[in-house]
Amino acid sequence: MSVIVKDTGFNTDDWADGFISVEDLAANDGAANLALDVPSDFDPKEIEARLAEIDLIRVDFPSSADGRGFTIAKRLRLMGFAGRLRAKGHVISDQYAMARRSGFDEVEISNELASRQPAEEWAFRANWQDHDYQSRVRA
C-alpha cells in the first residue's frame, strides 16, 4: 500500500486502472485511462509523439539522492505533457517543493515513509510557491 502526497496532504490513490511499462506502450494503442511507469534513466523523447494519449506518468525515484526524476518531469512539462505527473519511491518531505516546481502533481510514498515523515512534515512544504529561494533573492 502507498500514500499519495498532494498540496492538500495525505490522500489515498484514486488511480484504479493500473500502470504499464514503456516497453508495453506500443501494445496499448488507443487504450483509455493510460498510465505509464518510467524508470529514473528514461528519456522522455521516447514517448513525445504519444504524450497526448497518456493520462498519468509515474516516475521512479530509486533513491532520495537520485535527482534524475526532477529532470524527467521538467522535460515532460516542457514537451507539453498536460496529464498527471507522479513521483514514486524515495522522495522525502524536504524534496516536495522541488518535486512540485519541476512539474510533479503528486508524490507516491510507502506507508513506512509516511509513518516516519507524517503529514505535518509534508504540509509544511506544501506552500512551495512561497518558499522559492530565487524569488526571495531577486526581491
74-78, 90-94, 131-135: the lowest-pLDDT one: 131-135
SS3 readout for 15-70? CCCCCEEHHHCHHHCCCCCCEEEECCCCCHHHHHHHHHHCCEEEEEECCCCCCHHH
Mean pLDDT of 26-40: 92
Percent of the chain with pLDDT strictly greater than 90: 76
Domains of the chain, first to last: 2-138 (3.20.20.70)
pLDDT of amino acid 123: 85
pLDDT of amino acid 104: 97
pLDDT of amino acid 64: 87
- pLDDT bracket for residue 14 (50, 70, 90): very high
